Chain A
Amino acid sequence: EAGVVQSPRYKIIEKKQPVAFWCNPISGHNTLYWYRQNLGQGPELLIRYENEEAVDDSQLPKDRFSAERLKGVDSTLKIQPAELGDSAVYLCASSFANWTSGGGEQFFGPGTRLTVL
């Protein structure tokens, strides 16, 4: 079974440029997550989708970040314009069920390493 697919794996851009990340979750997983991971830190949740609906985007910097999950499958995370501080690894994860109080098992992709110059 294929895991969570993310592209690109690496991206280098200059500040003020736009950038987009793509995620294809595991087939059948209704919940999709975007995380940002800074060097030496754990992942930080940016947004969570239940099917097409963004149910938690409280940590998403909405002035420059946007996300969409059309048709409840693939998802795209966009940054426009990018800033130096956006350099990080952007991780996508998916899970099958809406677990209560445990989170169940989330399956993570390999991430996209973004470098903003």
Chain B
Amino acid sequence: LAKTTQPISMDSYEGQEVNITCSHNNIATNDYITWYQQFPSQGPRFIIQGYKTKVTNEVASLFIPADRKSSTLSLPRVSLSDTAVYYCLVGTDSWGKLQFGAGTQVVVTP
């Protein structure tokens, strides 16, 4: 399983865009990149998944460069409720195994 590296924490103000970059130098050809969000006392929640270029949904965008050795989760115009831990996960074996790292604690302040 490819190892991921992401910042331990990030601070932002309400209304700003937050970009979290995840490094995954050993990503395999068939691996996808998945991001989860976790609030205190809750289980993680799927945000977005992508393979290459750009993926956008109603919550976030995921940017993946051509070499796929990194990816950036972009949260537009964050609010206080976006304060959470964000996990970057890369690849799985063929049975859908996920390996979580320590995640990035994002704190949004007024």
> Which residues of A does B touch, CB under 8 Å?
4, 31, 40-45, 48, 50, 55-56, 91, 93, 95, 98-111, 113
Contact = CB atoms under 8 A, between A and B. Distances in A.
A48 B87 contact: no
Given A99-B96, A100-B30, A100-B96, 12 more contacts: A4-B43, A50-B95, A56-B95, A56-B97, A98-B94, A98-B96, A101-B30, A101-B92, A103-B32, A105-B46, A110-B41, A110-B42
A55 B99 CA distance: 16
B43 A93 contact: yes
B44 A55 contact: no
A101 B94 contact: yes
Contacts of A107: 46
- For the complex, would chain B's binding face be called helix, strand, loop or mixed by DSSP majority? loop
Contact of B97 (A41, A48, A108, A113): A48
B44 to A, nearest CB: 5
A106 B98 contact: yes
Contacts of B54: none
B47 to A, nearest CB: 10
A91 B43 contact: yes
Contacts of B89: 103
Interface string B18-61: 00000000001011101000000111111001010000000000
A4 B46 CA distance: 14
8 contacts: A31-B96, A42-B87, A43-B100, A48-B97, A95-B96, A98-B95, A99-B96, A103-B32
B101 interface: yes
Interface residues of B, number: 27
B102 interface: yes
Nearest to A4: B43
A108 B92 contact: no
Contacts of A43: 44, 100
A101 B51 CA distance: 10
Given A40-B102, A42-B87, A42-B102, A103 B96 contact: yes
A101 B31 contact: yes
